[in-house]
Structure 1
Amino acid sequence: MIGHADLPISLLLTAASSRYSYASQSQGRVSKSHQVMKPNVEDLFEGIECEAGRLNHDTLVTCLITDSRRVVPGALFFAIGGLRTNGNYFVEEAVDRGAVAIVTEEDLGARFPIDFIKVKDVRQTLALISRRFYEAPDEKLKITGVTGTNGKTTVSMLTQHLVGGSDQVGLIGTVRYDLGKRTLPSFRTTPESVDIYSLLDQMVKNGCSETVMEVSSHGISQQRTYGLDVDVAAFLNLTQDHIDYHKSMEAYFDVKKRLFTGEMGRKPKASVVNVDCAYGRQLVAEMGDDAPVTTYGIDHDADVQASEVNLFPDRTEFKLVWPEGELQVVSPLLGRFNVSNLLAAVTIAYVQGKRPENLLEHLSTFPGVPGRMERIEEGQDYNLLVDYAHTDDALRHACGMLREITPGKLIVVFGCGGDRDRTKRAPMLKAVMEGADLVYATADNPRSESLGQIFDDMRAVEGSGSVHFIEDRKDAISRALDAASKDDCVLIAGKGHETYQEFDGTVMPFDDRSVARELIHLKQA
Structure 2
Amino acid sequence: MNLKKLLENFPFAVEIKGKSDVGILGLSDHSKNVGPGFVFFARRGKNYDGNEYVEEAYLAGARVIVSDMYNPFLSKEVTQVIVPDITLAACRFSDVFFELPADKLYTIGITGTAGKTTTTCLIRHLYGSDRPLAMSTTIERRIGELSFPSSLTTPNQIELQKFFFDAAARQMYGAVLEVTSHSLMQNRLGSVRFDQALFLNLSPEHLDFHHTMDAYFAAKQRLLDALKPGAAIIYNADCPYMRTMKREGAFSFGSDPGCDLSGKVVQESEEGVEFILSYSGNRYEGKAPLIGAFNFSNVMAALSSALISGYALETLLSRLMSFEAPRGRLERVPNTKGTIFVDYAHKPEALREVLLSLGKLRKRRLIVLFGCGGDRDRQKRPVMGKVAEELADVVIVTSDNPRSESPKAIIDEILMGMSGHNAIVIEDRRAAILKGVHMMEEGDILLIAGRGHARQQQVHGNMIPLDDVEVASQGSVHA
Same fold (TM over 0.5): yes
Aligned match of 2:463: 507
SS at match of 1:456: helix
Aligned match of 2:46: 83
Any residues of structure 2 matched to 1:395-434 within 5 Å, and which?
395-434=351-390
The offset of 1:426, in angstroms, is: 0.9
Aligned match of 1:449: 405
Q: Distance in 1 between matches of 2:176 and 2:451?
A: 23
* CA displacement 1:78-122 (0-9 Å, x = unmatched): 121211012234445545655333323446699995544444432
Aligned match of 1:99: 62
Aligned match of 2:95: 131
Q: Distance in 2 between matches of 1:268 and 1:441?
A: 48
The offset of 1:196, in angstroms, is: 1.4
SS at match of 2:437: helix
Is residue 358 from structure 1 mapped to residue 315 from structure 2 by the alignment? yes
Is residue 368 from structure 1 mapped to residue 325 from structure 2 by the alignment? yes
SS at match of 1:368: coil
Amino acid corresponding to residue 48 of structure 1 in structure 2: F
Is residue 202 from structure 1 mapped to residue 158 from structure 2 by the alignment? no
The offset of 1:208, in angstroms, is: 1.1
TM-score by length of 2: 0.93
The offset of 1:373, in angstroms, is: 0.9
Aligned match of 2:10: 48
Structure 1, gaps ≥5 residues long: 1-38
- Report if the CA contact (8 A) 2:261-2:278 is conserved: yes
Q: Distance in 2 between matches of 1:116 and 1:265?
A: 34
* CA displacement 1:104-141 (0-9 Å, x = unmatched): 34466999955444444321331232122112211121
Aligned match of 1:387: 343
SS at match of 1:386: strand
Structure 2, gaps ≥5 residues long: none
* CA displacement 1:22-78 (0-9 Å, x = unmatched): xxxxxxxxxxxxxxxxx2223223223123312645232221121234434422221
Aligned match of 2:301: 344
Aligned pair partner of 2:178 in 211, 214, 235: 214
Aligned match of 2:285: 328
- What is the alpha-carbon root mean square deviation over aligned residues? 2.4
Q: Distance in 2 between matches of 1:268 and 1:414?
A: 44
Aligned match of 1:273: 235
Relative distance call for 1:252 and 1:124 in structure 2 (3 A) is farther
Any residues of structure 2 matched to 1:10-29 within 5 Å, and which?
none
Q: Distance in 2 between matches of 1:159 and 1:235?
A: 14
Q: Distance in 2 between matches of 1:175 and 1:312?
A: 26
Aligned match of 1:64: 27
Q: Distance in 2 between matches of 1:66 and 1:454?
A: 33
The offset of 1:495, in angstroms, is: 1.1
Q: Distance in 2 between matches of 1:450 and 1:174?
A: 26
Amino acid corresponding to residue 364 of structure 1 in structure 2: M
Aligned match of 1:144: 108
* CA displacement 1:459-497 (0-9 Å, x = unmatched): 221413431111122222233233332222111111111
Amino acid corresponding to residue 281 of structure 1 in structure 2: R
Q: How many residues align?
A: 477
The offset of 1:391, in angstroms, is: 0.3
The offset of 1:239, in angstroms, is: 1.6
Aligned match of 1:487: 443
The offset of 1:259, in angstroms, is: 0.9
Any residues of structure 2 matched to 1:165-184 within 5 Å, and which?
165=129, 168-184=132-148
Q: Distance in 1 between matches of 2:45 and 2:455?
A: 26
Name whichever of 177-186 and 79-88 sits farther off: 177-186
- Report if the CA contact (8 A) 1:220-1:226 is conserved: no
Is residue 315 from structure 1 mapped to residue 278 from structure 2 by the alignment? no
Aligned match of 1:7: none
- Report if the CA contact (8 A) 1:392-1:431 is conserved: yes
Name whichever of 267-276 and 442-451 sits farther off: 267-276
Aligned match of 1:9: none
